[in-house]
Structure 1
Amino acid sequence: MTMSRTVAPRPAASVVIIDDHQVFAELLGEVLTARGMTLVGTFGTLGDGLVAVADTTPDLVVLDHRLPGATGASGVRALKERSPTSRVLMLTAADERAVLLEAMDAGCDGFVTKRQDIAEVLAAVTAVLRGDTPVSPDMVGALLGSRPAPLGGDLTARESEVLQLIGAGRSNQQTARELGISVHTVRNHVQHILDKLGAHSQLEAVAIASRLGLLRSDRDGDPAAASAARGPGSRPGR
């Protein structure tokens, strides 16, 4: 005898829209409802939206950045405090890099500008609901540009040469002779290296550089060997 198993339908995702542009909010609500989602309501102020979110704990909150008496970042924090499980998608006309970074720092789960067409907005809604963190295509460059360089990744070619010689045990005077620069210039390079590696001494800088794989041990990568190969008549600039 074959027994059939009844699978309960997945409940529709519940959505709250907080946007002071009433017409836009209502149109978006109609689109989301047509896609099978449950619209809890549309609200023109953060205060009204916070009350609804606290009462209903929706799956998703679509939040405008510019609201009367509130900014996007503070709105995201307030929403997360009242309903930590709710996902927040910021949908806004603001396209400044600072707005994106503030929103992400506050815990925003996705960021889409109103320049995108409805298909992009719906794709972002779907992505946020499944746990992804979508960023509007026109803002991806701003987000990538915010990533800090890896430690030691901003050393100049000359600073890297000086670092190799420090790691090889050369003194500032020896480094100056081998690179054909003044001791004063070497000291300046050393200070820049310490600052960029967050070190307080040359010894600590060498330890950090070794841990990061910034020191070369092969002779082909040794600036002293390269300098000797070039000879005294061919020295790099300062």
Structure 2
Amino acid sequence: MLLVDDHQIFGELLGEALTATGMEVVGICGTLADALDAVAETRPDIVVLDHNLPAGSGAGGVAAVKRHAPGTRVLMLTAAEQRSVLQEAMDAGCDGFVTKRHSVADVIAAVEAVLRGETPISSDVAGGLIGRRTPSVGGDLTRREAAVLQLIGAGLSNHDIAAELRISVNTVRNHVQRVLTKLDAHSKLEAIAIAARHGLLRADR
């Protein structure tokens, strides 16, 4: 795992907390340029990336990491809570989004979720994705698939969705795959981004 944050003390403290859980932190970088060099050298499983970095930030940073190491997952950790920041990060292929108002335990949980292949998103910014609906997109989703999409948008994992809907995790995976196919998305976060653009996410969660 590689941590990228221009606040050295924050990066070091987060690194210590993650190491204490048994995760391996291969480096802590303060700039995007240094991070890209480290990504090329170490090929980490995940990069925890701050949004505001000297000479490069936001969606551009996510896209750059993905270009250098397509198999590396990116979790954005940021103080920015604007809808535009989240939308751009998701469009760039970000695998998770968590704000710095959350506790270290929440950040660790988000890292673990991304490593499991899930797509955590902070509930405090998920509501900003609500918009007007474009009927032509998502119109072929079944009622259950639409329900699964809402829960994905709320940041729930497959296991949490299974518990919420009282169905098996395998059934959830099947529904998720059909949602991705119908929205022409390659990941959960891309599906959320598409759903947000076309007003498919409700404000009642």
> What TM bracket, shorter-length normalisation?
0.5 to 0.7
1:100 aligns with 2:86: yes
- Alignment partner, residue 18 of structure 1: 4
Q: Does 1:150 align with 2:135?
A: yes
> Are 1:118 and 2:91 matched, yes or no?
no
Secondary structure at the counterpart of residue 54 of structure 2 = coil
Relative to 1, partners in 2 of residues 1:152 and 1:121: Cα closer, same or farther, differing over 3 Å? closer
Q: Residue by residue, what CA displacement relative to the aligned partner does 1:142-181 show, whole Å, maximum 9, x if unpaired?
A: 23x157432399xxxxxxxxxxxxxxxxxxxxxxxxxxxx
Q: Distance in 2 between matches of 1:19 and 1:85?
A: 21
- Summarize the Cα distance change of 1:56–1:140 in structure 2 as closer, same or farther, 3 Å threshold: same
Q: Does 1:86 align with 2:72?
A: yes
- Counting matched residue pairs gives 138
1:84, distance to aligned residue in structure 2 (A): 0.6
* TM score, norm. by length of structure 1: 0.56
Give me the identity figure in percent.
Answer: 62
Relative to structure 1, is the Cα distance of residues 129 and 46 closer, same or farther in structure 2, using a 3 angstrom cutoff? same
Q: Which amino acid aligns with 2:136?
A: L
Higher RCO, 1 vs 2 (CA within 8 Å, ≥6 residues apart): 2
Select the structure of larger CA radius of gyration. 1
Does the C-alpha gap of structure 1 residues 146 and 54 become closer, same or farther in structure 2, counting only changes over 3 Å? farther
Please name the residue that 2:125 is paired with: 139
Query: Amino acid of the residue matched to residue 151 of structure 1?
Result: S
Letter in 1 for 2:134: A
SS class of match (2:101): coil
2:49 maps to a residue whose letter is L
Q: TM-score scaled to structure 2, two decimals?
A: 0.65
Residue 137 of structure 1, CA deviation: 1.3
Measure the CA separation in 1 of the matches of 2:43 and 2:18: 18
User: Following superposition of structure 1 onto structure 2, how do residues 1-238 of structure 1 map, counting pairs within 5 Å?
Assistant: 15-143=1-129, 145-146=130-131, 148-151=133-136
Distance in 2 between the 1:62 and 1:148 partners?
32
In angstroms, what is the RMSD of aligned CA positions? 1.6
Q: How much does 1:119 deviate?
A: 1.7
Q: Deviations over 1:15-59 (max 9, x none)?
A: 100100100000000011001111101000000010000111100
Q: CA deviation at 1:69?
A: 1.1
Contact kept in structure 1, 2:74 and 2:96, CA below 8 Å = yes
